[in-house]
Amino acid sequence: MAIRINLDVMMAKRKKGLTELAKEVDITLANLSILKNGKAKAVRLETLNAICKALQCQPGDILEYVEEEETVE
């Protein structure tokens, strides 16, 4: 996928742990972990809003578009 999730970077910058952020955002620890590890297929805007509020950041600090390399067959 061309979208990279930098949630772990922002959490480290803000010195927030997974459990603490999950409580602030009101999301399960398992779902936040899936998002943090880049395994999520989608994220609700409401959830993104809550994460940005808790980490005092912009959506662009968490989500990044990275051009995928084309594979030649």
What domains appear along the chain, each with residue ranges and CATH number? 3-64 (1.10.260.40)
| Average pLDDT, rounded, for the chain | 91
Q: Is 60 exceeded by the pLDDT of residue 71?
A: no
Q: Would the pLDDT of 24 be above 90?
A: yes
pTM, entire model: 0.85
Write the burial class of residue 25 (CB in 10 Å: 0-12 exposed, 13-18 middle, 19+ buried).
Answer: buried
Cβ(69)–Cβ(30) below 8 Å: no
Tens of pLDDT, residue by residue over 30-39, are 999 999 998 9
